[in-house]
Amino acid sequence: MATASRESPPAVWLASVFGFVKAGFLAFMGIIGVVTWDDVTEPWGIGALVLAALFALASFGLLRGSSAARIVLAALAVVGGVMALVYVFVGPTSAILPSLVTAALDAVLVWLLYGSRGARAFFGS
16, 62 Cβ separation under 8 angstroms: yes
Residue 41 φ/ψ, nearest 5 degrees: -80, -30
Predicted TM-score (pTM) of the model is 0.81
pLDDT tens for the 125 residues of the chain, in order:
343 346 788 899 999 999 999 888 888 888 887 887 776 666 677 888 888 899 999 999 999 989 999 999 999 999 988 988 988 898 788 878 888 988 898 899 999 999 889 898 888 86
pLDDT at residue 5, as a whole number: 46
Query: What's the CA gap between 105 and 77, in Å, rounded?
Result: 9
